[in-house]
Structure 1
Amino acid sequence: MARRRYGCRVTAGTAARRGRIDKRAAILEAALRTFIRDGYGLARVEAIAELAGVAKPTVYNHFGDKETLFRVVILDGASRTSDHMIDALDALDTLADDGDGDDLAGDLSRVAREVIDCQLTEEGWALQRLMYAEAARFPDLFDEALARGGARLHNALAGRLARLAHRGRLELADPDTAAAHFLALISGDLPALSALGTRKVSDAELRTAIAAGVDTFLLAFAPGRRPAGRDTRRGRRAAAMDSGNRT
């Protein structure tokens, strides 16, 4: 399967570029950069307006106040990042339609790399750090951003894995559980490896993490690797009860 690229890199604004976009987009871009740099508490609307090349009243005319502007920035960022990640899942549709590929591990690894490349952008990590830093101040915003971001990706992946199972490429009883496992296995090490996006992760480290994650995923969900229709939740409960009986 040929590798596709989905344009996950953040694009920094310039004065020339702002001349070609509307004022609202310029304000949002300036606000994103200012909130990332200063945090919500220290960010000033005056600084955002200056960076956007607009008058301070123009910011208020478009967004009302700083809190509303912050909410729009976070939610737009979450939606934009998840859009790129969901686009990266399109290759799984080809796998489900073809149904005759003999390198499922390689195919899943390439899709995983596309998803992770989107997650590793400077903007994506900066938004995550900002969102976590302000979670106590805006708990409802935190929940909504997760719904627009990770939850959308999870649901999209579950649907595509279900199609692969229907074609006999995977064997799984619960696509939602399989999607959660896949995302955790391929990207669970990224926060520690990258120190929440503040440290560069080498290509070799990414390849190793993805390969290990995909291999573990296929041990659980490749055809013939486990009894069809096995209830993994019941298995976990039984294991916990058995462990309790031994103590």
Structure 2
Amino acid sequence: MRNRATPAKGTTGHTQRGQCAKRLSILEAAADVFCRQGFAGASIDEIAAEACVSRQTIYNHYREKETLFVAVVDDVINRANAMLFSVLSSFPERADNLEGDLTAFSFRLSKNCVCNHDGKFLRKLVQTEGEHYPHLFESFRQQGPGKLTNALSALLARLSQSGALVIDDFDVAARQFVALGNADLQLLTLFGATPTDEQLESAARNAVRTFLRAYGRPALTEPPQLTVIGV
């Protein structure tokens, strides 16, 4: 006979799944409320209502609003980083079609990492709350944009070793690549607009052409010299 003090294995699994579902529901609801109301304006009661849980359930999981906010930021960063490294895995390894391949990479980076839902969410929170509550974004500072530039720096170094690029400082080049990719999109994203694929492609093309003028091997970027005959 089973000891009544020991829950059945199936019951334990069901309880754990239920707890995970509640946590996910709370995080999703909290993200929506924090994005709309900001940290100071968000209330646990509103989050509980959107998550369809009780106020006490939220406190049981996260103790206080600040803990919940940090958990939301961490959750979004984890998803964003998973997408980021998926995109980074498509970085070109050869220079056969360098401009085209880098343009396609820059397009994917903007579409899937900068202008997607998680990217817009993090940007909005940092812009509206970062100055007032900098300690809440410590994980973002450690795991956010720095991961992109560090990884991109290593990829540019590998490409440079093949002779396709001429780069003295890979960290600077990585930051400039990202900045150029965002240059044509900043005004659009600043006011909450979502760029079209055509706008993303145009921004990526402009960014890569400028980047290659600065770092491309001369033979790849300089126009051929014309010989004037009969002069």
TM-score, normalising length from structure 1? 0.75
Counterpart code for 1:54: V
CA distance in 2, matches of 1:200, 1:52: 27
**Alignment map for 1:228-247 (pairs within 5 Å):** none
CA distance in 2, matches of 1:52, 1:125: 22
Q: Name the SS of the counterpart of 2:144 in structure 1.
A: helix
- Could you say which residue in structure 2 is the equivalent of 1:200? 194
Q: Name the larger-Rg structure.
A: 2
- Could you say which residue in structure 2 is the equivalent of 1:52? 51
Once the two structures are TM-superposed, the CA of residue 143 in structure 1 deviates from its matched residue by 4.6
- Could you say which residue in structure 1 is the equivalent of 2:103? 109
CA distance in 2, matches of 1:225, 1:177: 23
Do 1:82 and 1:150's aligned partners in 2 also have CA atoms closer than 8 Å?
Answer: no
**Alignment map for 1:155-194 (pairs within 5 Å):** 155-194=150-189
Once the two structures are TM-superposed, the CA of residue 225 in structure 1 deviates from its matched residue by 6.5
Do 2:66 and 2:136's aligned partners in 1 also have CA atoms closer than 8 Å?
Answer: no
TM-score, normalising length from structure 2? 0.79
Query: Percent of aligned positions with the same letter in both sequences?
Result: 35
Q: Name the SS of the counterpart of 1:117 in structure 2.
A: helix
Q: Per-residue displacement from partner, 1:125-154 (whole Å, max 9, x unpaired)?
A: 133112221123211233531331111111
- Could you say which residue in structure 2 is the equivalent of 1:33? 32
- Could you say which residue in structure 2 is the equivalent of 1:219? 213
- Could you say which residue in structure 1 is the equivalent of 2:203? 209
Do 2:26 and 2:58's aligned partners in 1 also have CA atoms closer than 8 Å?
Answer: yes
Listed as ranges, the gaps of 5+ residues in structure 1 are: 1-17, 227-247
Once the two structures are TM-superposed, the CA of residue 82 in structure 1 deviates from its matched residue by 3.2
Spell out structure 1 runs of 4+ moving beyond 6 A. Answer: none
Once the two structures are TM-superposed, the CA of residue 20 in structure 1 deviates from its matched residue by 10
- Could you say which residue in structure 1 is the equivalent of 2:124? 129
CA distance in 2, matches of 1:23, 1:200: 31
CA distance in 2, matches of 1:76, 1:142: 12
Counterpart code for 2:44: V
